[in-house]
Amino acid sequence: MTGSLFDSDPAPAAQPARPGANAPLAERMRPRTLDEYAGQQHLIGPEGVLRRYLNAGRLPSLILWGPPGVGKTTLANLLAGELGKPFAALSAVNAGVKDVREVIERAKRQPGTILFIDEIHRFSKSQQDALLGAVEQGVFILIGATTENPSFEVIPAVLSRTQVYVLEALSKDVLTGLVNKALAEDDVLKQKNVRVQDYGALLTISGGDARKLLNLLDIVVEATRPDPKTGAIVLTDAGVQQLAQQHLARYDKGGEMHYDVISAFIKSIRGSDPNAALYYLAVMLEGGEDVKFIARRLLILASEDVGLANPNALILAQSCFQAVTVIGLPESDIILGQMVVYLATSPKSNASYKAIRAARALVRQQGVQPVPLPLRNAPTKLMQELDYGSQYQYSHDFPGHFAYQEFLPEPLSGTVFYQPADNPAETKARERLRALWGQKYGM
């Protein structure tokens, strides 16, 4: 039900009829009621927050954030249907400010209209600004859908007027249930004698994307020859893999190979192979991937995988992100290519990444330990009398700007989170820490 601007005044959402046999399986199996909706029980289950809103007969403006194929568009349609509200849809790919203003005028004639905007992260700032007044005044209820982190792609003014709900990747049990339901209930598939011997390849290739899973199932059932003895169409991992390679080779930034390619891209850089990394970069660029998405992943990788082995990597990755944001395509490919080669050929270290993960894990497991008295702030006389800040040694008053003292809470004394990796930069850091702390931290 998404598309460009609706052609007539929005009408109350009704239960849609099933598409015909020629429609993709994912469309044929699209849920028509919330009871048919798979997954996201934390939102629509008996105690889910959206279910509570529905029970109260209302709905706030909201943004649904999650990976492709987990039901964002379907959920928006079903929420409108449950409330009997007029429903209209825009796609941020081809809608502009003029379309938004036309929606606003039409929605004024239909109080309670729910406006669904697919891929809202693709709206420019001016397009998002055009939504603000109408959302604030309650002209319509906004439901935005995005695969990108709203904190990065949705302007603060819109975020402050909406609630963000995270849709989770569908579990193995949910995906398996979708396959079985399609085989049992779809008008086309239930006429065939299909037996799933292995679910592994179907689930792995789909990557948690229900739309991709069902369409892949449709393809392999159609392409698999029945067993000559039993007449059954038996789906095996080997058969699914072979057919998937033939039919799903095209990159689709909306989900088909999106996560596979970005995974291979990151792993190629981590593995110091600039040639493979450039290939996957080219695949993404040719497929129309958002250059800011690529640059953000490089920014994360510069810290997570290069880290202190080359501290300049993070600075250059930030410059890369700013540059592609300003320049855009087609010239951004030059900047991204340079950054990819730089990161792939840099020495690697995940020591700082592991250190903060270990520190946070300890805090979650043990809670927060009291700060040692010498390190506490002492702004009042009472705090001074309680020895807050006493015995603290100001490092700059000592030779080498270092004073040997305890900084960790007493129960954690000597705990090690950061272990310098084996590269020139961190070897130097290890030597300095050993010179300062001796064997305290096992350096």
Mean local confidence (pLDDT), 319-323: 94
pLDDT of residue 439 exceeding 80: yes
- Using omega within 30 degrees of 0 as the cis cutoff, is the peptide bond preceding 330 cis? yes
DSSP code of 302?
Answer: I
- What CATH number does the domain located at 258-345 have? 1.20.272.10
Mean local confidence (pLDDT), 15-26: 65
Q: What pTM value is reported for the model?
A: 0.54
- By CB atoms closer than 10 A (0-12, 13-18, 19+), residue 209 is buried
Rg (CA), the chain: 27
Instruction: Give one DSSP letter per residue of 111-123, joined into a string.
Output: TT-EEEEETGGGS
In whole angstroms, give the CA distance from residue 62 to residue 76: 10
What top-level class would CATH report for the domain 172-247?
Answer: mainly alpha
pLDDT of residue 168 exceeding 60: yes
**For position 382, what pLDDT does the model report?**
67
Query: 11-166: which CATH architecture?
Result: 3-Layer(aba) Sandwich (3.40)
DSSP code of 85?
Answer: -
pLDDT of residue 60 exceeding 60: yes
Mean local confidence (pLDDT), 73-88: 84
> Could you tell me if 437 and 402 are in contact, meaning their C-beta atoms sit under 8 angstroms apart?
no
**For position 53, what pLDDT does the model report?**
87
Mean local confidence (pLDDT), 191-198: 82
- Range with the poorest average pLDDT among 88-97, 191-200, 409-418: 88-97
| Portions of the chain given CATH number 1.10.8.60 | 172-247
| Portions of the chain given CATH number 3.40.50.300 | 11-166
**For position 5, what pLDDT does the model report?**
35
As a dihedral over the C-alpha atoms of residue 37, residue 43, residue 45, residue 50, rounded to 10 degrees, the angle is: -100
pLDDT of residue 341 exceeding 80: yes
Mean local confidence (pLDDT), 327-345: 91
User: Given the structure tokens 């950054």, which residue do they identify?
Assistant: 339
**For position 41, what pLDDT does the model report?**
81
**For position 245, what pLDDT does the model report?**
65
6: which 2 tokens?
């609706």
pLDDT of residue 14 exceeding 70: no
**For position 4, what pLDDT does the model report?**
35
Most confident stretch, 113-122, 124-133, 309-318, 353-362: 309-318
In whole angstroms, give the CA distance from residue 327 to residue 55: 48
291: which 2 tokens?
């250059």
Mean local confidence (pLDDT), 85-107: 78
> Could you tell me if 323 and 335 are in contact, meaning their C-beta atoms sit under 8 angstroms apart?
yes
Going by pLDDT thresholds of 50, 70 and 90, the confidence category of residue 80 is confident
In whole angstroms, give the CA distance from residue 229 to residue 196: 17
| Mean pLDDT across the chain | 81
